Amino acid sequence: MTKIFPTAQDAEAAFYEALERADLEAMMAVWAEDEDVLCIHPGGQRLTGQDQIRESWRQIFAGGARARVHLTQPLAISGPMVAVHSVHENFSVPGDQRPLPPVVATNVYLRTAAGWRMIVHHGSLAPGQVEPPRESPKILH
């Protein structure tokens, strides 16, 4: 039976729950059953289609470490058929004291006949703190 996500927020919550549990079937239940889905993991290549995305999550989950993720700086842009969410993913591994760099993620959800489904997940390492320039640059237009 296909899980129904009544809102994009429900689909997003299921995505991060599956990520924390390292549950491949729950992860793939969030994704649209379409070959036009797209996933880019931090520092990774562009993956398209169900097969490539499933295999990437299988490899990630096979690593064994279960990470906790705390979402911050949420931004959502929603329409009747598409929702775009941007969040900072702050990861921690229980028992590991090393800080992990935050990830800036963009998640795109599509309203389908089977409820809301993820069609894009793009994660990039968050940039470090950039020192402001000492002088304001002069820009001419």
Residue 26 lies in a domain: yes
61-100 core/surface letters (b: 16 or more CB in 10 A; e: else):
beeeeebebeeeeeeeeeeeeebebebbbbbeeeeeeeee
Provide mean pLDDT across the span 11-23.
Answer: 96
Question: How confident is the model at residue 99, as a pLDDT?
Answer: 74
Residue 24 lies in a domain: yes
Q: How far apart are CA 111 and CA 116, in angstroms?
A: 4
Q: What is the pTM of this model?
A: 0.86
Residue 2 lies in a domain: no
Q: How far apart are CA 107 and CA 123, in angstroms?
A: 9
Residues of the chain with pLDDT > 90: what percent?
A: 73
- What is the DSSP code string of 80-109? SSEEEEEEEEEEE-TT--SPPPPEEEEEEE
Residue 100 lies in a domain: yes
Residue 134 lies in a domain: no
pLDDT in tens, 72-90: 999 999 999 999 999 999 9
What confidence category does residue 98 fall into, taking pLDDT thresholds of 50, 70 and 90? Answer: confident
Dihedrals phi, psi of 138, to nearest 5 degrees: -95, 120
Per the structure, the complete domain to which residue 30 belongs is given by 8-74+81-125
Residue 135 lies in a domain: no
Question: How confident is the model at residue 128, as a pLDDT?
Answer: 72
Question: How confident is the model at residue 1, as a pLDDT?
Answer: 57
Provide mean pLDDT across the span 63-73.
Answer: 86
Residue 38 lies in a domain: yes
Residue 96 lies in a domain: yes
How many domains does one find in the chain?
1
What CATH code is carried by the domain that includes residue 51? 3.10.450.50
